[in-house]
Chain A
């Protein structure tokens, strides 16, 4: 299954290697890894998605903690969270075929961020399934995709809400694994909304 970890690490040379090397040593493939500054100076935030056995989460988190440069590890798989990914997609489109791509992009709430005589660039943000959905419909519509650049998943735990808010969001305060699975299938509530709108 896919595991998602958020690791706060020291912003120093070589730290990424140490983290990546750990997964290599455990013979676990990294599906995506995003890293950037966090809210704290000198601390970077990594979101690591990897494919591993369902019971591997504890060992991966425990092993990450063994790296001296790792400050905090969160196995967000168990927790209510928001997950997003950003993608830039360059599509071959002439003035004649552009409008079709515009329409698709609008349905997916994606933006056109560059326009050239023979191509355009789409920026889309959302859960992975939404991005995969756009790619699929572009392909099916016969629009040739020239390039795709994806950030990989970034996640953040949901904040502390009052019980009424949580109830309205259908997010229990403390989630069980079973509830998490249900959420994964249907995405988080806000994603549900998006999925409804886009008809995915």
Chain B
């Protein structure tokens, strides 16, 4: 993991090296393979910052600690490695909390390091003291307080182990100022944590595997539910094999998009609240759901009372606490998804062709009916729709970009219209739904994958929550493309108000600054697009431009994401795009 180029390679035997706690921090991070951290300095973490220059670790200065946490998160999601954020005590630490919770809900491996006041004054309400381990207790996998230099290395190493083991998640290490300033012997190897206690309920029992295989072999209408776990467990090949061998269609969760190629004939697309009608139809009609690395979130199931009423359910999941939590399952394979699938596949001989065709034909038939209502297929009315923007972006980037979205309507349009072929190409806050996530997370993703094209897709609301990070992108000279889908509303709020609150648009209209001028103020180029024919040229300009580029897409103000299953309703009770879209009709001004 270490770079190996530096004389002080911590992985080599260096027992007896005496370092300060601050130096041990960086040396341990280097030993854990960390090459970049996202952070913001302050009083209680200054000893660590002072020692940073001695180590080959890049520090990215964000503009707000929330940005540091999201950037570390984006870095982790794009690379599969543990992301690292660093902040000072007090407000620095509390500003991380939203980002930590975001990572927790989406099971992203991350280590957050916070400075803390000296151990001698802990608990005295000293300046910038806050009980950050207490505050983050429910939103971290685990957290630590380090008060002695000799504990820095073992605790940081254990934090990395916890963050990436089992179901990954964020870990916070709070290091007092005197622990950073004190000194101790540093021995990276000796600080290795004891092997991680495996969750004792992890068991992929052979009898369950055989039962699962039998259910799969006998199913007439099976559906694979593809979740984030496939990406976390690197089980893409196994899912592909399972689907192709047994001719099983694959529906994805939001975070599962990319785990199964969208262009594959067996790919159905996203399920749930804003899933296409045929996807949810297939789930409701199914006689066997094979849930892989997903947790039956309420946005996926709708009301549980009527969820997939005829289906047996197999749940393959690494976290035993997820079994039977929302949906009672018939067979649970608890363990690493890839290992479980590898245990399962030998028991599944390829299915003869005649069996599956009826089920796949039924799904295919429902696709055609829906396509008529797809806004993408409606004639150009002179108005610009977000769906058009995303569709054009997908085509222009050949579906190969890493797209980092914010939260709201644009996020759902992205999920519907950008077809992700490979894992780790969609980075989005699913579980927590954190607005302001996109720009800082994209900074992390771009730094993780400098050779890949990275697009931010954000709404005008969420973009302004963390727009200060434009300054970070400019300072780091990141080749980042930023699409603001600007409809002048907090769009998803407005949509809910339209559907469920009698169009009482309370506090959802939004006056924004001129995003192009805002970009210019940061030394970033930008352009505004309001007509469909301008979309592709603008995307082309952004892609060719070196450095950050902002496109302000002025889209239809009162468009909604269709279909939509209202919260608490069944999967088949969806609101569909009206056949005669009033927005399209009023635009008949040609």
Contact = CB atoms under 8 A, between A and B. Distances in A.
Interface stretch (B316-324, B341-349, B381-389): B316-324
A146 interface: no
A65 interface: yes
A44 B323 CA distance: 28
B141 A58 contact: no
A55 B162 CA distance: 29
| Residue among A21, A58, A67, A72 facing the most chain B CB atoms (10 A cut-off) | A58
Contact of B201 (A14, A55, A61, A71): A61
A111 to B, nearest CB: 40
Interface string B292-330: 000000000000000000000000000111011100000
B141 A18 contact: no
B582 interface: no
B138 A65 contact: no
A66 B200 CA distance: 10
A59 B321 CA distance: 5
Contacts of A72: 200
A61 B319 CA distance: 12
A185 interface: no
B321 A62 contact: yes
Contacts of B201: 61-62, 65
A151 B141 CA distance: 31
Nearest to A22: B138
B320 A68 contact: no
Residue with the greatest number of chain A CB neighbours at <10 A, chosen from B319, B321, B324: B321
Contacts of B141: 66, 68
Contacts of B325: 59
A158 interface: no
Interface string A47-87: 00000000100110111011110011100000000000000
B578 to A, nearest CB: 40
Interface string B370-390: 000000000000000000000
B142 interface: yes
A58 B325 CA distance: 9
A65 B200 contact: yes
Interface residues of A, number: 18
Contacts of B142: 67-68
A14 B144 CA distance: 10
Contacts of B319: 62, 66
Contacts of A62: 199, 201, 319-321, 323
A96 interface: no
B134 interface: yes
A71 B199 CA distance: 10
Interface in B106-139: 133-134, 137-138
A67 to B, nearest CB: 8
A164 interface: no
A17 interface: yes
A58 B197 contact: no
Interface in A20-34: 21, 25
B324 A71 contact: no
A182 B96 CA distance: 52
Given A65-B199, A65-B200, A65-B201, A25 B323 contact: no
Contact of B323 (A21, A58, A73): A58
Contact of B137 (A21, A55, A61, A66): A21
Contacts of A68: 141-142, 162
A67 B169 CA distance: 12
Interface string A3-43: 00000000000100110010001000000000000000000
21 contacts: A17-B137, A18-B137, A21-B137, A55-B324, A58-B320, A59-B321, A59-B323, A59-B325, A62-B199, A62-B201, A62-B319, A62-B323, A63-B321, A65-B200, A65-B201, A65-B320, A66-B319, A67-B142, A68-B142, A68-B162, A72-B200
For the complex of A and B, the 5 pairs showing the least CB-CB separation, nearest first, are A62-B321, A62-B320, A68-B142, A63-B321, A65-B199
